Every structure is written in structure tokens, then in C-alpha cells.
Amino acid sequence: MLFANIDILDENLDYQKSQYVGVEGGSITYIGSEEPADAAKYGERYDGRGKLLMSAFYNTHAHTPMTLLRGYAENQPLQQWLNETVWPFEGKMVAEKKHHYWGCMLSQAEMLRYGIVSYTDMYFATVDRCEATLEAGMKANHTDGGTMCFVETDYDTLPVAAVNKQLFEEYHNAGDGRVKIDMCVHGEYTTPQGMIERCVAEAKAHNSGLHIHMSETKAEHEECKGRHDGMTPAAWFNSLGAFDVPVNAAHCVWVEPSDIELMVSKGVNVSLNPASNMKLASGFAPVQAMIDAGVNCSLGTDGMASNNTHNILQSAYLLACSQKGNALDPAIITPKQVLQMLTINGARAQGRSDCGALACGKRADLIVMDVDTPWMCPVYDMATNIIYSANGADVVLTMCDGKVLYENGEYKTIDIEKTKFEVVRCVNEVLDALE
């Protein structure tokens, strides 16, 4: 495809008007202000007038099947939310009835609509989720939550051992690398020491990483210190070797200065989830301190029971505004820093070094946004407009690895009406089982 006469945010997220961008196969091979002499080889020509082309978005923390719980678990603090509402519902979700598959598929449709091409997922029925990812043409780093066991348990006696064996053998780097498999450590308070150590060993053996929840709430953070001789969750995980493999740590709301230093030294990636953290009243992460220290920060939407939308631009807006308000400092967190979290930082957190930027040689993970709208006029700085004025609904085209997966209301790989029908069926089956 050749994008013609289209404004872009380049690899440095600088705004350039009326450019030409050529995509061959799955990669970007041309960027310039002049039409390439061999334009015909790019095939389809996309008229970009009134549009903006930029890197697509990377969602680094999700629980996709939780779409089935959208609007179900409301107005509760985290532990009540988990123990009394979410976990009972999840306990009635059945893989054989494709509950997880259809929840994942609906999440993927929503993500594509909002410009997300890749996501980092933690849940169950992971084979079904991998299949859904491959069918939709998206990218994902999947982990199976079956290691969440609360008390010391032999990993090899759990169903997750066989599941992970299958996942690494059949799905790790499947779809030309679109699907990656990581190990799951749900959290310090749900995963005992031996299980954490085994998860680390499995990650090392398969050259993969860990996806964890860390310091999400004050209670979680302080109770960990009480259990482990003053060690924070970050310090505890590190003591068990967890930070010796690539780690994507979700939330990090209550991390301390020593934790930030540790995360920098170990290269820990942080997934910020501002919508979820505010909705569950978990607090505000020290984002500027992490950025200043050199932590790779990205953005996640979390599950739809604690956010309700995969509109990641809304999360970006919330992050930028809430950080300023909480710090009483309007100068912190620039629009470009937030855009980096959405794009290159997110790709880096997923181990996708060839993604996340509009640059020649990078994978063609791209979105087109309609910027010829009242709310995007005038433009003093396009990055500012995208973070503070734009909405995910302004995305009119989403491309992953050079393939258009969504365009102007049409899903190329997902039967959206069937997906919505099946999700309603799944929800009704779960609610009937809960009665």
C-alpha cells in the first residue's frame, strides 16, 4: 500500500505534512515528501488528505476475556471487587463453551477500532486466546494465570504445566512472531515463593519473560513488607530472581524510590493503567519519577471490569491529566512522552524491537486518524492534539504487519455481529450458572 499526501508523526513523533509512505509485505520501505518513482509496486494507493498516519498502539496490560464482565463489577475496592464479584464470575467461565475465546475476540475488535495492534494478556484458556489472536491477525504476548495458587504447590501437578508446555511448543512466535508466550506471576499475594521461582526457571528455559501485577494498591505493597521482613514487592521479586528475565510489571502505583532504582538497574518494564487505578481508587503511580530515572513506561487498559473500555487514547488522556493534578505541577508528563508510552515503549515492553515507530525497516503497524474534525482544529502541536483532543474513534484504519484489519467501520478478519451475539450468549450462561 502507498499512503499518499498524508500527514505523519515520524519515528521521533515529529509532525510532517503531506508525505508518502510505502508498505511492502509487512514492513515500511519508503518515507518521503515526493512520490516514489516506483509507486506502482506498492499496489493500493491510499488518499491521505485530511488524515494522519502514525505508529499503531501497544496495550501492555489486559485481561481480554473480562469483556464479559464489562459493567458487572462496579463501585467496589479491589479486594472486595476480586473476592466477591470478579473471581466468582470467572469461576463459572468455561473454556469448552468458548467463553474466553469470544471475550477475547470482542476485546480484539474493540482494540482494533481504537488503533491497538498488539496487547499483553494475562488470563486463562490461553490456547483459545492464542487462536483468537492468530485468526484476528493481531499481535499478543499471552500468559496463562494457572500459576495463581495462593499456597505452595508443585507446578508439575497443576494443569498449567501441561498448558504452558503446549503454549511454548505450538504458539511461541507463531504467526510470524505475532504471538509470544510469557510466564505469569499474578502477584506477590497470590503466588508463593516456590511457584515464582519455578515461573522464572520456565521463562529462562524458553527465552521468554514474566507478566506480573506489582504494588497495585497500598495494602498489597505494605502487607508484602510485613510478610517479607520489610521487602517491597519489587525487592521480593528480585530476591527470587524474577528480574533476571524480561519483566512487564503492571500498575506499580506504590513503588518506592528504592524500587525505581532497582527497576532501572534490572530493566523492568512498567505498564501504567491510570483508568483502572482511578476507578478502583488504587492511587497514582509516580510516573515522572520513573521516567526521569529511565524506566521504560508504557500504557495498559487492564480488564474491562476495572476500566470498561479499550479506548487507550482515553487512558493516555487520563494519565497526562491525572499526573499533573496529583503532583500539582502542570509541566510534568509531556504529550510526546505519553505517545512514546503508546508506541515505541509498548513495543519494547513486549520484546518487539522491530515495531512501534513509523520508520523504514520497521514492521508496518500503523493507524490512520481523521484529523479534519472540529476538535482537532487548529493545530499548534499535533502531539498535543492527539493526547488532549483526539479520541480513539478518530481512528479510521488499523494495519498490523502490513495488513489492514480495520477500516471505516469494517473488520477484515472478525465477524463482529457473530462475536457480539456469542458474547451475549456467554454472559447469559455464566449468569445462569451463578444463580
Q: How far apart are CA 181 and CA 188, in angstroms?
A: 21
pLDDT attached to residue 362:
98
pLDDT attached to residue 350:
98
Q: Which of 244, 250, 177 is closest to 211 using CA atoms?
A: 250
- Flag whether pLDDT at 77 surpasses 90: no
Instruction: Give 93-107 pLDDT, tens digit per residue.
Output: 999 999 999 999 999
CATH fold, domain 2-55+355-411, is Urease, subunit C; domain 1 (2.30.40)
How large is the average pLDDT for residues 403-432?
Answer: 98
pLDDT attached to residue 79:
87
How large is the average pLDDT for residues 155-166?
Answer: 98
**Other residues' Cβ atoms within 10 Å of the Cβ of residue 379:** 15
Three cell numbers written together for 369: 486518524
Instruction: Give 344-397 pLDDT, tens digit per residue.
Output: 999 999 999 999 999 999 999 999 999 999 999 999 999 999 999 999 999 999
Domain boundaries, the chain: 2-55+355-411, 57-349
Q: How far apart are CA 350 and CA 359, in angstroms?
A: 19
- Flag whether pLDDT at 78 surpasses 90: no
- Flag whether pLDDT at 92 surpasses 90: yes
- pTM strictly above 0.85: yes
CATH for the stretch 57-349: 3.20.20.140
Instruction: Give 14-72 pLDDT, tens digit per residue.
Output: 999 999 999 999 999 999 999 999 999 999 999 999 999 999 999 999 999 999 999 99
Three cell numbers written together for 164: 504452558
CA distance to 21, 103, 304, 354, per residue, from 9 (Å): 11, 33, 30, 17
pLDDT attached to residue 174:
98
Q: How far apart are CA 119 and CA 140, in angstroms?
A: 5
Instruction: Give 202-240 pLDDT, tens digit per residue.
Output: 999 999 999 999 999 999 999 999 999 999 999 999 999
The percent of residues above 70 in pLDDT, for the chain, comes to: 100
pLDDT attached to residue 292:
98
- Flag whether pLDDT at 259 surpasses 90: yes
The percent of residues above 90 in pLDDT, for the chain, comes to: 98
> What's the mean pLDDT when you consider all of the chain?
98
Is there a contact between 10 and 380 (Cβ–Cβ < 8 Å)?
A: no
